[in-house]
Structure 1
């Protein structure tokens, strides 16, 4: 993946540094959400597949880690202001209630019945930043769990990774959708053009995944994702069929309708329920993780729809 263009002083400092060999590094403060979330995304990617031409030893460079900690603190402080249910006695049913709350404007409904072809391409462009590494952030939790919660997470992840068959990996299946839409399937090809709201959704997963103390939040994030997936993915598949998409184009969405109907029960009860029984002091973190993803996804959907309603692209073009 090629390093993107900077969006402010901090992302510029990070990208400039990574273009060189490891050396002493310092940076100031971000001047915008764009700057903060691009810098954080670039830093997090060092723990995934990395950047073209960037020395791998940057991954654990003290200067970059210090900056990442400051950016994470600012991001987490914003997230901690979100309201979370105070009752943690029955987390699975709290998750069910949270995921049934009325959210923001329905992006899935718009894509099902009203979106034009170019708008659907934009939607897939946004989602490619996550779907081309789908499941990877949540896999960080596996060695941090034990017992029933660990087994349940692995059960979900096995499906995400295609049961060991490369062509059935959700990461690979999304490439078929992108190919049908005429998009570049290269990993990270569209980081350059997506807005900070898209990057923030991805950074949220990495924040939770890379910190053991936030393992409960990561499970809540995954549970909320799975529990709000079936209906939207059915809408996405039907919307793409309406626009002429064939079986290959819609296979990714159709697969999620079937798989996530099972995953939502496993995630809520077997994974989060078992985790909270074993570590009840982290039950509030599970609900916190769910609240974060529901809120940030609503914010992103609202941004995309507002741009389309104004007749403008939701991408940075």
Structure 2
């Protein structure tokens, strides 16, 4: 990408900011957004930061018909010194390009994309909330915009980044959630798009989630799409089990999203010399560990929730209450350490933090 200049057109009227104690996840958006376009002739071009506003897009744009899109999620945090910073943005841009490749979308310049995000967050820095557990959620995404009804990769795209001040993703916060193990529907299989962060993966999981939401479950736990035997991931999180002192997480297999927080958790556990293994794990193994008392903890990891302890898994009408429904020691330690690094309250020995100011 040759384009290195970001044009700026700032909003003349600023929107009122929400009370931080009333923040939900992803309901309110800041004053500005970043945009950049792609055509085969010009490549990625016309990088700009403009006021946040609705898009004007052709009804025949291919995104509406064939779902060719990818997205990412990361956050900006305020330190005690009022400095804004990002957490491992290079991992998000690397993954965005892996998703691009799978969806036949032209790759972006990762370094330039991070610079664009930094400039956008700097402009809307006053939107970063300061209450405990809040942050500024960053949503980069790419949509196919060519007006064409033929089934083929689009030749035009728009890359957009929007910002949203957020509170906790789950209303339970760091308190344990109830998860239902999904036996009927399938999220993804190896060779599909499961390891790409594309909208269709999430659309296909909505029915399963809706069916269990009324029963008090926060999410569903997906099993593999072939045998419906092996654990894969929760709807918006990767998953970890602590069994007999060892932390186990499903091995990446082509249908599991490679989470940035997942990777960070694994690095932290190894840093602490906590046994951690990436391998296939079946629900039968989880059930057996629960029966014999060696299932000590379970938790999910993701950018939105950071760490979400699992207090109960329900599978085939069996309720597996984990750690008496309480937050486990490892989950709490990982959460406290990750958030302390993210908010600049603790030393970052991994060089994960990228400063904006």
Smaller-chain TM-score bracket: 0.3 to 0.5
TM norm structure 1: 0.34
More helix by share: 1
Structure with the greater alpha carbon radius of gyration: 2
Q: Per chain length, whose mean CA-contact separation is higher, i.e. which structure has more relative contact order (CA < 8 Å, sep 6+)?
A: 1
TM norm structure 2: 0.31
More strand by share: 2
